[in-house]
Amino acid sequence: MKDATDPSQYVRTREKGTRDVTYPDAPEPLAVPVYDNHTHLEIEDGVGLSLDEQLARAAEVGVAGVVQAGGDIDSSRWSAWAAASHPRVLAAVAIHPNEAPAYAAAGALGDAIAVIDELAAQPRVRAIGETGLDFFRTDAEGLPAQHESFEAHIALAKKHGIAMQIHDRDAHEAVLETLERVGAPERTVFHCFSGDAEMARIAADRGYWLSFAGNVTFKNAQNLRDALAVTPRERILVETDAPFLTPAPHRGRPNAPYLIPVTVRFLAAELGLDVDELSAQLAANTLEVYGSFD
């Protein structure tokens, strides 16, 4: 029986349905190591890999470390535990915008944010995230809780002097307005950037970072490629959002940090850059945002 008080024993299982749950073959290793800026390794997918196995596979292909992101109390505690236990992991902790309404309905949003505040004080917790606004999955009744939670998380990132990872789904204008009104943390990242070129220009002009995931490779994602094209190189990050958003040609199968090279090579081709050159830039950007993994 799992001990509910032990963060290391917390896992979630992704619904598999009828999709192909075998992991793709490993890509050719990158010569210059990079980092996965946002992943969810507490979610078991495919045939199931332990944290150690995930990190070992990633290291073999030139992925030097990952930022493990939480979205509720349990996954945030697990993320902080993983970062404290593994030198190739840093953590981001938060109440996801789609979780905020449920906490608020139970009268527990303030208590949940207080837990995030405590976790954020740990030395290897380097970001508040993922937080933000989601107008796709939350109805109008839940939006006040999302706004309250988002602003509270912004305050936590500033309090602890760490980065913030934003979840923004169908809420571009509201997210940008909130950041402008209350003041963004010094290091603000749009996790899995989902806007267009115009939004990318605004975000970059304000000093935010844009993190691109495997969906930039999808045929229907021209808006992301347009955004990539106008984003200054020093503002680009790369992530998996694993186990979601597996890059083409493996779309629909389980995603994992070891597949980052697929996305990196795609980005390099889109930008007309040498893969090693882009990898070095991506690694430098990651360390600027989150600090050293050492």
Closest among 84, 91, 76 to 290, alpha carbons compared? 91
Average pLDDT, integer, range 4-12: 82
Are 150 and 97 in contact by the 8 Å Cβ rule? The answer is: yes
- Can you give the residue ranges of every domain in the chain? 34-290
Determine whether 115 is exposed, middle or buried from the number of CB atoms within 10 Å of its CB (0-12, 13-18, 19+). middle
Q: Distance between CA atoms of 148 and 145, rounded to whole angstroms?
A: 5
Reported as a pLDDT band with limits 50, 70 and 90, residue 11 is confident
- Tokens (6 digits) for 167: 């979840």
- The whole-number pLDDT of residue 4 equals 57
For residue 1, pLDDT over 50 is answered with no
> Count of residues for the chain?
294
pLDDT tens-digit series, residues 106-126: 999 999 999 999 999 999 999
Architecture of domain 34-290: Alpha-Beta Barrel (3.20)
Q: What pTM, to 2 d.p., does this model score?
A: 0.95
Average pLDDT, integer, range 236-248: 97
Per cent of the chain over pLDDT 70 is: 98
Q: Distance between CA atoms of 68 and 91, rounded to whole angstroms?
A: 5
- The whole-number pLDDT of residue 187 equals 98
Four-CA torsion 228, 232, 237, 241, nearest 10 degrees: -30
- The whole-number pLDDT of residue 100 equals 97
Are 237 and 187 in contact by the 8 Å Cβ rule? The answer is: no
Reported as a pLDDT band with limits 50, 70 and 90, residue 49 is confident
